[in-house]
Amino acid sequence: TTVMNAYNELASEGLIEGHVGRGTLVKRTYLARELDDEPFEQHMPSWLFSLSAEEELALGHDARLMSEITALGDQQEVISLAAATPAAGLLPAELLREIVQDDLLTARQSALGYCPVEGLQSLRRGIAERMRKHGVPVDFQHILVLSGSTQGIGLVGRFLLHPGDEVVVEVPTYLGAIQTFRALGARVIGVPIDNEGMRLDLLEAILARRSPRLIYTLPTFQNPTGVIMSPARRRRLLALARRYQVPILEDDPYGEIYFEGEAPQPLKALDTRGDVLYLSTYSKLLAPGLRVAWLAAPEPLIERLSLHKQIFDLNTTALGQWLVSEILQRQMLDPHLARVRQQYQRQRDVMFQAIQEYWPAGTRVTLPRGGFHLWCRLPGDMRARTLLREAAQEGVAFVLGEPFHIDGGGRQYIRLSYAVSDEVQIREGIRRIGLAMRRIQSR
């Protein structure tokens, strides 16, 4: 408090200034400011300064990582193996252009107006129909359209978790969810996963001793590990949720990006009692820029969450919803998915092969049956942070394993996305990381 007061006093006297993301700096003199050659630089008022310190604490030190990963996409010179986003060539620009050209003029009101907070009727119906095909018996009233599944994690978290409440997550798990739960003041408890998914013996021990309010899981092509939860565990997880009366938030952005056999069924398909809140998104299937995702859940919950959602954005972008709805109605999604699945599989194989070819022995890497990521353990005692620094000099980016762990683990792990770059870039990116690895090993 003393330090904060001192900072506030210096700020109010105009001697220092805080910059979001850059820290606090001694201000230039008044004389220099008169000659200011950066007229758009804003000075930070002291009330904002003290708020931002609290906010920083609430968000945690990994808060900036997500925006840094996504910003990489804009840097042409860097080969990004970081973001979980479709490569430019796999974004459905042609489909969208066709739809806009054919129908935007006649569909102005649905595409460019406000719409019901729950989402466009046509889209909710289309989503429900698709979910029924995957074995989940829902209708449109069980669907809430969301501005990204990020919004869904936030809404469910806000609704179910009060500060101090506990939420169970897998270790490792999607770092965006960890951040959201922590920002809501929840205590995040970890359950390790193995090659069959969440360790349910450990989950049961937690459920028996404590009272978490939510279990967050990624049963299909888990982010970051690519693991798929076995059928036996899925059934047992549902039984545990029922016995201890804890809802499950199933986050499933990658279920439809599978490379072998039939589409894996969601956990929700086995849920006969409404314990599973199912979240998915068009960010990976079509384009993250559409910002269209959805939650499938019991109707009373959809009604309640709609009220929360309305406070934040009135409705998800109608334009994005209309475009997705048209894609579904025109039966364009399945052919698109067939094409991108094949391409992702090729990219996965190119990445896997290149790792065998260019990386030193001792690296362990998964070969996932779907999703966007390879999960790698670095050889020997090599640290992921050291490698990230070296790889940056080679102009390649990937994601550290550490922020996916709530327990400080994962220091020797990295996540590589094979979705975001093309085959040539992937090979070159892996080759350059190999160079960086050998440089570290030779020191």
Q: Taking CB under 6 A as the rule, does residue 219 contact ligand PMP? A: no
Applying CB under 6 A, the span of 130-138, 280-288, 321-329, 429-437 interacting with ligand PMP comes to: 280-288
Q: Which of 81, 82, 184, 218 binds ligand PMP (CB under 6 A)?
A: 218
Region 162-181 residues binding ligand PMP, contact defined as CB under 6 A: 174, 176
- Least separation in angstroms between residue 440's CB and ligand PMP is 28
Give me the residue label for tokens 């994601």: 399
Burial code (b: 16+ CB inside 10 Å, e: under 16) for 224-233 equals: bbbbbbeeeb
Q: Taking CB under 6 A as the rule, does residue 84 contact ligand PMP? A: yes
Q: Taking CB under 6 A as the rule, does residue 80 contact ligand PMP? A: no
Question: Whose Cβ is closer to ligand PMP: residue 110's or residue 151's?
Answer: 151
Question: Whose Cβ is closer to ligand PMP: residue 358's or residue 375's?
Answer: 375
Q: Taking CB under 6 A as the rule, does residue 316 contact ligand PMP? A: no
| Contact (Cβ atoms closer than 8 angstroms) between residue 99 and residue 330 | yes
Site for ligand PMP (CB under 6 A): how many residues?
14
- The CB-nearest residue to ligand PMP is 148
Q: Taking CB under 6 A as the rule, does residue 283 contact ligand PMP? A: yes
For residue 179, CA distances in Å to 60, 285, 389, 410 come to: 7, 24, 24, 17
Q: Taking CB under 6 A as the rule, does residue 223 contact ligand PMP? A: yes
- Least separation in angstroms between residue 223's CB and ligand PMP is 4
Q: Taking CB under 6 A as the rule, does residue 281 contact ligand PMP? A: yes
Residues present in the chain in total? 443
Region 133-162 residues binding ligand PMP, contact defined as CB under 6 A: 148-150
Residue numbers at the binding site for ligand PMP (CB under 6 A): 84, 148-150, 174, 176, 218, 223, 251, 253, 281, 283, 288, 293
